[in-house]
Structure 1
Amino acid sequence: MRKLKLWLNSLRFKLFSGLLFTIVPLIIVLLIINHYSAQVVRNQVAQSNKNMLSLYMGQIDRNLQEVDNFLINLSQTNLDLLDLDTDRIANENNYNKAKLRLFQTINNSVSYYKGIDSFFIYSSLNKDLLMTQGFGSSFDERNQVANEIVKMLQDSSVTPNVYRWYTWQSEGNHYVYHVIKTGDVYVGVWVDAKKLMIPLQLIDLGSNGAALLTSDRLEPMSHGELIAQKGIHLALTNQAYTLSGTNADYLVMGEPSKKGNFYLFALIPEETALEKLPYLQRISSIISIGAIVFLLMFVFYMRKVFLLPINRIILAMRKLGDGRWNSQIEHYPTSTEFSMMNETYNRMITEIQHLKINVYEEKLMHQQAELKHLQLQINPHFFLNSLNIVYNLATVKDFKLIQEMTKCLVAYFRFMFRSNSYLVTLKDELLHTKNYLRIQELRFPGILSYQIEAPDAVLSLQIPPLVIQTMVENAIKHAVNMDEQIRIDIRVNTEEDDDNQWVVIHIEDTGAGFTDPILELLKSNMDLTSEEGEHIGIWNVKRRLHLLYSDKAAIDFYNEVGKGACVRIRIPADVPPTGGE
């Protein structure tokens, strides 16, 4: 909640909100006008084409009604149909005469009805089909149509109806038929759906538009590839149109036939419908796009010129708040005002760093009392545990170990109370550390072991006291337990590079190693000390090394596989310390 309040009160939010409150309402109004104009045009185009579909469907229905009247009159008044309803073998002469007269009747009538392919009469008793064929049809076409008609009449799902036309599909072809049954004689008409759709070709629906007929199951009789490619869904609704297609970019309108179980659909691309939008509507679209582009450009400009410099200053101040006093702002091209702010900030940080160093140095120059407080702290638990060990040894009268323990304690405290020793030799530091390890070895018999290795050439090197012993003490504190043996190794060696020679001190133990959170803290440059005094010895070592050697000395903490916690101290061997504490 606090972060939200800060963000709402930020200059960035106020700047952008003011700009948005100015531009966004304008864009919204223009978009509403654009949407409303498009909706009006869609409705007008849809209503116009809906009326046209009704007109064409009415024309088709009227043509079909005329054919219906002929079929009804033929089925109810022509007596020759009775002869076809009798066994052909019983009276073949009358059967053939009736068949001839019926053929002449339907053949003379087929030319009067537009769009009709064929009239047919079928005697189911004699399995005899009598049909006409349109002008110009080949023998194969007539034979194919005859087979389709017989197949259709033998289909159990086909139900003759006096008033309804139906669709039939076979091998990708679509047909429309009407059948009236008189006894066992079927009188019907057969139409290729392509002929019904010839007038629809006159409708201008654009280059990607289409008009088509569908079955009662809304299966398209043409333009199937277009419908599948565009993902158009055919459906009849009470609305003037529906938007369909993969991108909802087609206006779909349908009109049912009053005479048959089929429908007439028009598919109009939206781009064709909206190409007649008013000029003002297009101008509003351009203005909307221009406003959005202007907003994006303004945001980019303000971010580069105004917000990024502020963010750099804020980021540097946050680093400063986290204790990183070297968080200066890098020089980069910016406005004059921000350049002055950055230079002032960097100068202030430099002065603060110098002041902080001076304060540290002044504190470190206080006499032995402050020195003892910072770097020569006596662990009361260590002192009491050592006395307790002496007491226990006296109880068992192990005078030899009492003498050794007392001797080690005297040497330990003599080194600790060397008030004038701001620097000691590496040899003295190692002897003190060895003495400390021997005390701990007596404290943990059979648990703790150690080894110290150092070349003679580096033993005279001057270093701050307790640098090694502090790390050893930390290892014993966190690694030694009564369940398993622990070993501490101290190795001193030298390294050389192009410019300098270094003394490298390794303190390693075989414990569990540093935990990830502790290891992350130790690797950072932040103050590790807590209210309970945790890690104060490590902090003092790092601070004193920095004051004496600046950035030339380094101390690293890591875990080594198979060994445990490792501390690596790197000190220049050929560069004397810059001062003493």
Structure 2
Amino acid sequence: MRIQECKGGAAVKRVRSAKKSLIKFFLILLLITLLCLVSYGVYSVWMYEQQLIFRNQAALDVYSNNLIYVLQDMTSFNQDVYSSDTDFLLLANKADSLPDDQRIVPEYNLRKLMNSRVPNAGAIFFFNKSRSEFFYCFGSDFMGGTITRRHMEFMNQLREHWLDAKQTDLMRWIAFSEGEDVLLMNAYRRADLYVCSILDLNAFIGMHTEGVDAIKYAFFTQDQILTNADYAAQEGITLEMIQRAEANLVRNLYIGNIIQSDYYPAYGIGLSGIMSLQGIWSYSRISVILFLIVFIVICGLFFVIYAFIDRILIYPLNQITNASRQLSGAGEPVRTDYENLLEFSTIQIALDRLVEQKVRLEQDNRTKTQETEHALLQYYQLQTRSHFFLNCLKSLYHMSERGEIEKIRLMILAFSNHLRYVFHDNLLLVTLKSELDEAQDYYQIIQMDRAHPLLLDMEVDQSLLEYRVPPLVVQTFLENSYKYNTNRKKFLRFRVQIDRIEMEGRPYIRLRLSDNGVGYSAEMLKKLSEPDEQFEQYHVGISNLKRRMALIYQNDFQVAFFNAPGGGACSLIYLPLQAEERSEDDACADR
């Protein structure tokens, strides 16, 4: 670097090399990009884990809800049979003394009842101590779904278990395991007769998770892991881990599994989902490899782009400098602090002079622009589509053919009032009463032209009638509702609600304009929510109204457009309260 001196010997700012600055910039940009990529990678891993946790929890909730539903249904069955089933009461009191021909009917009824209530993964079992009653019904998936001698021996074993059980074990769900079979049982006893509902936990979860290999599900109690205990032991997962099941990324990485659990104290059982991170890696491996490839490609692209820009930088900088000098040839210089880079400093000088010229031109052009926009707004307000005139003339013609003189008189009066109102200066405010009268005139026109009636419903605070509003603020939305709701089968209703409201300590007029038609389209809502950049060919009335309100009130107004939940377009407008002296133009507009 070197120091340039002025004629007076004073030193000026040092200028740096653009090439060195470019190198520094690219190094910083590369480091930031790499940091962002690494951060994104870590965030992606975390988000992927959270998505897995969310999906597993959703599945876990579904399975748990199904489990609770089945257990509640089986509990309800036991309670109904125990408390109010006459066949069960008869067998409980007289099973050993009843002759066979009198036992057939109650036994048949109980068999039919349990066949209709047994779940796919469950069984229902009736028995007594003397074995005079011993019958059961299996669900289609219970213990493999096929009845064998082993099943009959197993039911005998369950019978012996309940005959030896304590009274406190009855009327609640308890876990029972024998080898690979894990069951939940709930038994009720009246006299010597038992009714026992059984749920095969392996069959239940297998029925819901068929084809799911990435997640292992384990039922557990406060004392032990009931199902998939071998898998849990192999993975080093203890009952305590399942019971507290924290969704912590570091902890999950440490134990190599994601564990989520739901426990239901009312039934003394819980369900846990265990996802192995090794299994997850098999699904996410391609994504990680693609991420690494993108990482390497981006680094390579940075170096290639830097080499390319470094090689061609000087020429475009010289061209820009020459063009900047030519652009800054006129006008007085604007004194500013320039960049240390010589080339960029020259560009800054030219741009400052261009800005100075632009400001002067904008000052000259602003008035013309406002006048042009005012004229354009007036033009769009006065612009009436040809079909509206033709429809009015056609309606008058048909009325004359039918001899409807009174309707012709009303039509001409309403139409003339409408035209006189439209020709009013669109930037001059009118009274709310005048605007409502215009809406009534327009309503009369379309009522006489419309085959099916349109209901105009007005709820207006009468104390606001003399306050000022922009012209066509109500009529625009009435016209819009009439034009874009062409369904002849539906009774169309347009509602006007106007009241006074306080916002931030200031009074405003609130206009709520709604109908029960098709509502605004998604494209229209998007356009209405954005600032108007140009006049549209369609929906010009609303666009025109928004521009006029912006010119009149600046930023002191609010509008909102939306569709009602039950259908129909809704428009909400807040305008500051203004009560001014009436002018001649206002008197004409007020008719």
- TM-score, L = length of structure 2: 0.38
Look at both structures and tell me which one has the larger radius of gyration over its CA atoms.
1
- TM-score, L = length of structure 1: 0.38
